[in-house]
């Protein structure tokens, strides 16, 4: 089965604001054939890599690509002629547009530094006399990563079942830019290496999420994935876990490109689809923006499995501490969140999603730096329905350097198409307001966003706003509206059942409360304690998850 759906193309170290449709491809790059220590059951039907590729292609569910990474040394069963056979067989079985086969090596020995999965080098790298085409001393990971990096976009390293002291003390050594350019990812779940299950009932036991966070703290740019490490003929069938790449076509080159550019996420679920962006930057990429980080997570599972929670993680590359969770949102498959970070301080974000059945998904990070040039800030962006016509209103300050706003429209919140342009009024130190009425009637759920273009040809995106003509009512009231102490009752009326976000702000706009609540059709009530508030005006705002509806009111604390 193939799952080919539009998402955002991910690239590393470029300010990519993706527009073209892309696809999710599911597979794994860590498994073994009889050319090393695979086929432990000695099944005569699977004597080579070709037969193993045929097995996973024809018998495993939800596999678009598969990699066999046999051990690189004789202790693991490898011989130089067999490595050449594996490369040729992968080439012969590869069928762009249908199934991608990759052949590489698992380099190294666990006791002398750990295993690195290597792809894109068709010659065996080793240290044993007569059993290598490219020499690299055993345990010399500095040299190995240098060889991979020297291939440019032609090869990549993937860290397998990483222990804290592996790979030449990677975690305790200073950050190495050459190593960073070679390493594209890490397995955060792996195995079970010697499983014989073929009914998807044997999930991986190894969990290396801590190593993922450790390396991100060091400053490394890498993505997470899930390995099978199959040593029996079970390829893709011992469990549902998949490494998912996001790219533009089902070809070997596209899959390799996605790995090299970290357009990758790890999923326990073998057909869940995740789109993750920060201020228009796609998963795995790096870039800058002049506004607070606008974080978007969209989860879709064709099987209908819900989302229990989404954790948003944030860290500082090269910092003293690992990333921490700064927001957890419950029962929401789609999340739009703003994080107001200081200017000039680079951060990275990634998402961890837990489905209602316990499956987890980890995204690749996005590295984001907020700049103050030209100092532009989008202050407001609202969309409302007026007699089935969409009316967009937004305002911004410090628009010197901003040329225009592109209005983009979507029917699914994923693929956006241009609708119109509005020229910027420009100027610094002044607030400019804009209104755009959509000439096309809104008859079904419709999504809008702004594409903000500057004089350098770079652009960023606003948050997404959704309008749905079927639902139009959300109202919030506070009783009593003037209070001296104690609690106030917040009353919410709505015309449907859906999760709601409750926020309370002081007069300076500081957020005092952010709470997810379960909104029900009709009336929902909750209480807010005002006893610790100083005298002044306070705003209560309630919005639904996609911000298509919201309402706010004010109460006074005497």
In angstroms, the CA 255 to CA 25 distance is 8
Task: For residues 191 and 212, state if they share a domain.
Answer: yes
91 against 553, higher pLDDT: 91
Tokens of 64: 């678009």
Note the pLDDT of residue 364. Answer: 98
Q: Is the pLDDT of residue 10 over 80?
A: no
In angstroms, the CA 51 to CA 233 distance is 10
Q: Is residue 189 part of a domain?
A: yes
Q: Is the pLDDT of residue 9 over 80?
A: no
Summarised one tens digit per residue, pLDDT across range 48-79 is 999 999 999 999 999 999 999 999 999 999 99
Q: Is the pLDDT of residue 259 over 70?
A: yes
The DSSP code for 110 is G
Q: Is residue 342 part of a domain?
A: no
Task: For residues 92 and 128, state if they share a domain.
Answer: yes
For all residues of the chain together, what is the average pLDDT?
Answer: 89
Beta bridge partners of residue 476, listed in sequence order: 492
Task: For residues 382 and 234, state if they share a domain.
Answer: no
In angstroms, the CA 218 to CA 225 distance is 19
Report yes or no on whether pTM surpasses 0.85: no
**Which residues fall within 8 angstroms of residue 152, CB to CB, at 6 or more apart?**
none
* Domain of 526, in residue numbers: 474-557
Note the pLDDT of residue 31. Answer: 98
Tokens of 196: 């014989």
Tokens of 49: 């890599």
- SS3 (DSSP) at 51: helix
Percent of the chain having pLDDT more than 70? 94
Task: For residues 145 and 28, state if they share a domain.
Answer: yes
Summarised one tens digit per residue, pLDDT across range 175-234 is 999 999 999 999 999 999 999 999 999 999 889 999 999 999 999 999 999 999 999 999
**E strand map for 62-209:** 65-71, 100-107, 116-119, 125-126, 134-135, 156-159, 183-190, 206-207
Instruction: Decide: residue 227, CB within 10 A, 0-12 exposed, 13-18 middle, 19+ buried.
Output: buried
Q: What is the mean pLDDT of residues 265-294?
A: 92
In angstroms, the CA 494 to CA 474 distance is 5
Note the pLDDT of residue 2. Answer: 31
Q: Is the pLDDT of residue 6 over 50?
A: no
Task: For residues 116 and 201, state if they share a domain.
Answer: yes
Summarised one tens digit per residue, pLDDT across range 451-477 is 999 887 888 888 888 888 876 577 888
Task: For residues 415 and 506, state if they share a domain.
Answer: no
Last residue of a domain, one of 467, 501, 528: 467
Note the pLDDT of residue 388. Answer: 84
CATH number at residue 515: 2.60.40.1930
Percent of the chain having pLDDT more than 90? 63
**Which residues fall within 8 angstroms of residue 177, CB to CB, at 6 or more apart?**
none
Q: What is the mean pLDDT of residues 325-334?
A: 89
Summarised one tens digit per residue, pLDDT across range 390-445 is 999 999 988 888 999 999 999 887 788 999 999 999 888 788 999 999 999 999 88
Q: Is residue 332 part of a domain?
A: no
Query: Which is nearest to 552 in space by CA: 502, 517, 494, 486?
Result: 502
Note the pLDDT of residue 471. Answer: 65
Tokens of 317: 């590359």
In angstroms, the CA 532 to CA 509 distance is 17
CATH number at residue 463: 2.60.40.10
Phi-psi region of 361 (alpha: psi -120 to 50; beta: other; left: phi over 0): beta
Summarised one tens digit per residue, pLDDT across range 481-528 is 888 778 888 888 877 777 888 888 888 777 788 888 887 777 788 888
Number of separate helices (H) and strands (E) present in the chain? 7, 38
In angstroms, the CA 507 to CA 515 distance is 19
Task: For residues 536 and 394, state if they share a domain.
Answer: no
Task: For residues 382 and 499, state if they share a domain.
Answer: no
Q: Is the pLDDT of residue 46 over 70?
A: yes
Note the pLDDT of residue 374. Answer: 54
Query: Which is nearest to 62 in space by CA: 234, 226, 270, 255?
Result: 270
Task: For residues 82 and 132, state if they share a domain.
Answer: yes
Note the pLDDT of residue 18. Answer: 38
HSE, CB side, 13 Å, CA atoms: give it for residue 194: 3
Last residue of a domain, one of 272, 289, 312: 272
Task: For residues 541 and 405, state if they share a domain.
Answer: no
Q: Is residue 401 part of a domain?
A: yes
Summarised one tens digit per residue, pLDDT across range 376-386 is 888 888 888 88
Q: Are 474 and 494 in contact (CB under 8 A)?
A: yes
Note the pLDDT of residue 546. Answer: 60
Where does 112-270 have alpha helices with state H?
141-149, 166-169, 177-182, 209-218, 252-260
Instruction: Decide: residue 480, CB within 10 A, 0-12 exposed, 13-18 middle, 19+ buried.
Output: exposed
Summarised one tens digit per residue, pLDDT across range 129-142 is 999 999 999 999 99
Q: Is the pLDDT of residue 19 over 80?
A: no
In angstroms, the CA 251 to CA 23 distance is 11
Count how many domains the chain has: 3
Helix (H) or strand (E) holding 87: helix 80-93
The vertex-256 CA angle with 255 and 260, nearest 5°, equals: 120
Note the pLDDT of residue 61. Answer: 97
Q: What DSSP string describes 198-209?
A: -SS-----EE-H
Task: For residues 428 and 527, state if they share a domain.
Answer: no
Note the pLDDT of residue 26. Answer: 98
Summarised one tens digit per residue, pLDDT across range 525-552 is 888 888 878 888 888 888 876 666 677 8
Last residue of a domain, one of 272, 293, 310: 272
What is the maximum span of the chain, computed from C-alpha positions, in angstroms? 86
Task: For residues 551 and 415, state if they share a domain.
Answer: no
């Amino acid at each position: 089965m193939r799952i080919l759906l539009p998402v955002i193309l991910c690239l590393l170290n470029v300010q990519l604001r993706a527009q073209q449709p892309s696809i999710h491809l599911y597979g794994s790059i860590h498994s073994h054939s009889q050319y090393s220590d695979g086929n432990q059951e000695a099944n005569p039907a699977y004597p080579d890599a070709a037969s193993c590729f045929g097995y996973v292609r024809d018998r495993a569910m939800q596999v678009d690509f598969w990699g066999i990474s046999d051990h690189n040394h004789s202790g693991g069963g490898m011989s130089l002629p067999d490595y050449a056979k594996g490369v040729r067989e992968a080439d012969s079985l590869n069928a762009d547009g249908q199934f991608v086969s990759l052949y590489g090596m698992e380099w190294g020995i666990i006791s002398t530094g750990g295993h690195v999965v290597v792809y894109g080098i068709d010659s065996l790298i080793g240290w044993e006399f007569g059993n290598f085409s490219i020499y690299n001393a055993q345990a010399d990971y500095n040299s190995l990563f240098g060889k991979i990096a020297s291939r440019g976009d032609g090869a990549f390293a993937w860290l397998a079942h990483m222990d804290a002291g592996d790979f030449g003390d990677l975690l305790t050594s200073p950050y190495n830019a050459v190593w960073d350019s070679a390493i594209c990812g890490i397995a955060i779940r792996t195995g079970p290496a010697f499983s014989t299950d073929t009914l998807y009932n044997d999930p991986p036991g190894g969990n290396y999420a801590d190593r993922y966070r450790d390396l991100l703290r060091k400053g490394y740019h890498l993505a997470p994935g899930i390995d099978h490490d199959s040593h029996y003929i079970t390829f893709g069938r011992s469990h549902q876990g998949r490494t998912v790449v996001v790219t533009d076509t089902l070809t070997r080159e596209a899959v390799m490109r996605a790995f090299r550019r970290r357009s990758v996420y790890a999923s326990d679920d073998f057909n869940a689809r995740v789109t993750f962006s920060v201020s228009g930057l796609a998963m795995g990429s790096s870039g800058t923006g002049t506004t607070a980080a606008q974080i978007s997570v969209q989860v879709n599972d064709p099987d209908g499995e819900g989302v229990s929670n989404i954790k948003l993680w944030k860290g500082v590359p090269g910092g003293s501490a690992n990333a921490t969770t700064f927001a957890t949102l419950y029962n929401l498959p789609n999340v739009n969140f703003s994080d107001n970070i200081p200017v000039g301080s680079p951060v990275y974000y990634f998402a961890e999603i837990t489905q209602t059945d316990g499956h987890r998904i980890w995204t690749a990070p996005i590295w984001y730096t907020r700049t103050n040039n030209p100092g532009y800030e989008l202050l407001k962006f609202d969309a409302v329905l007026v007699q089935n016509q969409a009316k967009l209103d937004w305002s911004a300050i410090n628009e010197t350097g901003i040329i225009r706003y592109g209005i983009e429209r979507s029917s699914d919140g994923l693929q956006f198409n241009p609708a119109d342009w509005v020229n910027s009024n420009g100027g610094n130190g002044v607030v400019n307001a804009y209104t755009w009425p959509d000439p096309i009637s809104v008859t079904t759920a419709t999504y809008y966003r702004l594409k903000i273009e500057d004089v350098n040809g770079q652009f960023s995106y606003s948050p997404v706003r959704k309008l749905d003509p079927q639902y139009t009512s959300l109202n919030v009231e506070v009783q009593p509206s003037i209070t001296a102490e104690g609690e106030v009752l917040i009353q919410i009326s709505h015309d449907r059942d859906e999760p709601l976000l409750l926020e309370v702000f002081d007069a300076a706009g500081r957020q005092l409360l952010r709470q997810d609540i379960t909104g029900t059709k009709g009336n929902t009530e909750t209480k807010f304690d005002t006893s610790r508030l100083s005298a002044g005006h306070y705003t209560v705002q309630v919005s639904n998850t996609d911000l298509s509806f919201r309402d706010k009111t004010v109460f006074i604390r005497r």
